[in-house]
Amino acid sequence: MPLIKNKPSVQVSFQLVKKELKLVESQILDQVKAFDPALEPYMDYICNTSGKRIRPALAILAGGATGGVNDDHLKIGVILELIHMSTLVHDDIIDGADTRRKVPTANAKWGNGMAVLLGDALFSHSLLLATEFDSIDICRKVGKASREVCQGEVIQTQRRFDLTLTKDDYFHIIEMKTGALFAAATGIAASLSEVSEDVETQLYNYGMKLGTAYQIYDDCLDLVGTEEEVGKTLRTDLEKGKLTLPLLNLIEQATPAQREKLNKRIIEQQPLDLPVLIGIAEYEGAVESALDTAANLLQEAREDLQILPASKWRSSLEEITSYLDGLLDKCRK
Amino acid sequence: MPLIKNKPSVQVSFQLVKKELKLVESQILDQVKAFDPALEPYMDYICNTSGKRIRPALAILAGGATGGVNDDHLKIGVILELIHMSTLVHDDIIDGADTRRKVPTANAKWGNGMAVLLGDALFSHSLLLATEFDSIDICRKVGKASREVCQGEVIQTQRRFDLTLTKDDYFHIIEMKTGALFAAATGIAASLSEVSEDVETQLYNYGMKLGTAYQIYDDCLDLVGTEEEVGKTLRTDLEKGKLTLPLLNLIEQATPAQREKLNKRIIEQQPLDLPVLIGIAEYEGAVESALDTAANLLQEAREDLQILPASKWRSSLEEITSYLDGLLDKCRK
């Protein structure tokens, strides 16, 4: 399987919530002013490296689908996006990444130490912002999601180059590190609409499955994408011994001789470079199988939405899964 | 001024709250179980490197002094101590410190990347724990104090080797990075006792001044203490170009020729080693003057306590300032 050319990064248009996402964007930039003047230039840089804003879009769509979008849905979107951004600042330190979204990372610009502290400041601000809801329940849900993300990151780092990592372990990690914030976006948005517990749970589940599928896609992209198109440093998973689903499939499907060769590299903490992987039979099959797993999760996520009355919002939540399906398909080419 | 021998680390006995501090200690260790099993060994290590627990002691004493100690005062003590511990984990990365409280730091044990993530996990857990109060007001105060600490750390790092740093800037930094959590301990404890706003403000001020004085003491200790006695890596401020109050005094008091020599080293980001400093006239005076500033703050802190009715708790809060006064005096020897 060759590297994919012309592989676009995720760019869902989110047409339905375009207006709301503009407000979210401006509210994110407004946060810069909440910091001490000394921090403003840093925060301005970090907040201006525009992301895909998937989490805010999910919160807004879930709000629309559960009775109508209000300011609270925008606010939870902003908060979860800021939390996400603060984790990216720290992720880039861990991964030694110098580029994200085609611009230098905080660590590349100001060094690792400063990036640690800037991530902390942004993270603490996000959690403080959550107290503006005047609802302990919402604060608790935001806090829990944040802790999940952090714990997922710890376990992922702990288990690098760890051959005993099972697929269950992998799912546990990605549900925490990625699923939790997606699920918080849709679940908390439902909670803010004061819907029944059942609807909130189903929307939470939708977010969890979508987030998990998205992470599997991202893990496949790290193997088969190109840096020019994706706009960030790739192949870091291989270098860092991060055993993602396609790699776990590969290890599982390899012949005993191939497995030994692969294991040797992992145990010696040598980078798992692509030529070595492609040399192993079933490399394509291993990626395909991971993509299938993601597609199944997306199907389940669509089913979770059936509890909602039909609406343009529900359709848009469905379209996101279809869009991601399309991206998975491009990885197969 | 020679290095101080037999310089004890701060070890206030906190006799009056010994029983409560034992409970705090056990509640801190209980937090380990709140994490994913994979994180327990790390958190167990971090939570077992017993600190001085100054912040919990302050919360408990302030609780006693405002109507009686209850479980909430212990809980806020635990939360603020966990936040403090999480900032120490990140501080040690920034400072490249390999020892704290005579044991290896998290970064020395598991590397910088893991230490970043463990600090994040502990920090997010602390803020989640604050939601157990069922009070948005308390959550907000905890969140604000946390953000202050993080911002203080950023500004401190930003302004290393920065000759334009004024004493006002220095106080702004240490009030944020150290004062904020001390003030939160006494201020939130008063708030939990539902006292008048005036009493809460005075107790907040007491904590702020005590914390600021404590940081000045710590900054002087970094220059005149010995590692064997203090139990952590010292002279890091000098190496890292951190312009603390005694150094700012020194720059201010130096002759033009001395200042030029000192400035040259700072501009070239060369370590400010002690022999260079001692060669400058008024080195002793510069430390003395910083110690005087701290002593004045302690006097003001004592005055803030006068709003409280006389009690063994108030006496104990006063004794802490006297104890710190004693430590300042030892630095003068």
The span from the CA of A174 to the CA of A188, in Å, is 20
B78 versus B262: the higher-pLDDT residue is B78
**Count of C-beta atoms within a 10 Å radius of residue A127:** 28
Q: Is the dihedral of CA A77, A79, A80, A82 positive or negative?
A: positive
Residues in chain B with CB shorter than 8 Å from the CB of A147 are 121, 124-125, 128
State residue B2's pLDDT score: 38
Return the residue in B40, B150, B165 with the most chain A beta carbons within 10 A, the one to mutate for interface testing: B150
Of B42, B128, B143, the CB nearest to A124: B143
Residues in chain A with CB shorter than 8 Å from the CB of B116 are 90, 93-94, 116, 119
CB contact under 8 A, B144 and A153: no
Residues in chain B with CB shorter than 8 Å from the CB of A118 are 154
**What is B218-269 written as a DSSP string?**
HHHHHHH--HHHH-S--SHHHHTT---HHHHHHHHHS-HHHHHHHHHHHHTT
Q: What is the mean pLDDT of residues B184-204?
A: 98
The span from the CA of B40 to the CA of A320, in Å, is 37
CB contact under 8 A, A150 and B120: yes
pLDDT tens digit string along B91-144? 999 988 899 888 999 999 999 999 999 999 999 999 999 999 989 999 999 999
CB contact under 8 A, B38 and A114: no
CB contact under 8 A, A124 and B123: yes
CB contact under 8 A, B90 and A35: no
CB contact under 8 A, A154 and B94: no
State residue A236's pLDDT score: 67
CB contact under 8 A, B117 and A153: yes
Q: What is the mean pLDDT of residues A226-241?
A: 69
Residues in chain B with CB shorter than 8 Å from the CB of A114 are 154, 157-158
| Alpha-carbon distances, residue B64 vs A9, A42, B16 (angstroms) | 58, 42, 10
Residues in chain B with CB shorter than 8 Å from the CB of A158 are 38, 114
Residues in chain A with CB shorter than 8 Å from the CB of B133 are 136
Contact A292, A37 (CB under 8 A): no
Q: Sketch out chain B's domains with CATH numbers.
A: 15-332 (1.10.600.10)
Q: If pLDDT is split at 50, 70 and 90, which confidence band does B226 have?
A: low
- Looking at this predicted complex, what is its ipTM? 0.92
Q: If pLDDT is split at 50, 70 and 90, which confidence band does A7 have?
A: very low
Q: Looking at CA atoms only, how far is residue B268 from chain A in angstroms?
A: 18
| Alpha-carbon distances, residue A260 vs A68, A119, A252, A263, A264 (angstroms) | 56, 40, 11, 5, 6
CB contact under 8 A, B117 and A157: yes
3-state secondary structure A83-140: HHHHHHHHHHHHHCCCEECCEECHHHHHHHHHHHHHHHHHHHHHHHHHHHHCCHHHHH
CB contact under 8 A, A143 and B124: yes
3-state secondary structure B144-170: HHHHHHHHHHHHHHHCCCCCCCCHHHH
Q: What is the mean pLDDT of residues A310-319?
A: 95
Report chain B residues touching chain A, CB-CB < 8 A: 35-36, 38-39, 42, 87, 90, 93-94, 112-114, 116-121, 123-125, 127-128, 130-131, 133-136, 139-140, 143-144, 146-147, 149-151, 153-155, 157-158, 176
CB contact under 8 A, B124 and A124: no
The span from the CA of B228 to the CA of B245, in Å, is 24
Which residue in B has a C-alpha nearest to residue A143's C-alpha?
Answer: B128
CB contact under 8 A, B151 and A36: yes
- Mean predicted lDDT score pLDDT of chain B: 89
Residues in chain A with CB shorter than 8 Å from the CB of B158 are 38, 114
Return the residue in A114, A131, A168 with the most chain B beta carbons within 10 A, the one to mutate for interface testing: A131
Cβ-Cβ contacts under 8 Å between A and B: the total is 139
Q: Output DSSP code: residue A177.
A: I
Q: If pLDDT is split at 50, 70 and 90, which confidence band does B5 have?
A: very low
pLDDT tens digit string along A89-117? 999 999 888 998 889 999 999 999 999 99
The span from the CA of B203 to the CA of B60, in Å, is 12
CB contact under 8 A, B143 and A123: no
pLDDT tens digit string along B235-285? 667 777 889 999 899 888 777 887 787 778 777 767 666 666 666 657 778
Q: Output DSSP code: residue A17.
A: G
Residue B1 has pLDDT above 50, yes or no: no
CB contact under 8 A, B153 and A117: yes
B301 versus A11: the higher-pLDDT residue is B301
The set of residues, in sequence order, having a beta carbon less than 8 Å from that of B158 and lying 6+ positions away, is A38, A114
- What tokens does A307 get? 């509890």
Of A117, A136, A150, the CB nearest to B90: A117
The set of residues, in sequence order, having a beta carbon less than 8 Å from that of B226 and lying 6+ positions away, is B3, B4, B5, B7, B234
Residues in chain A with CB shorter than 8 Å from the CB of B180 are none
Residue B201 has pLDDT above 60, yes or no: yes
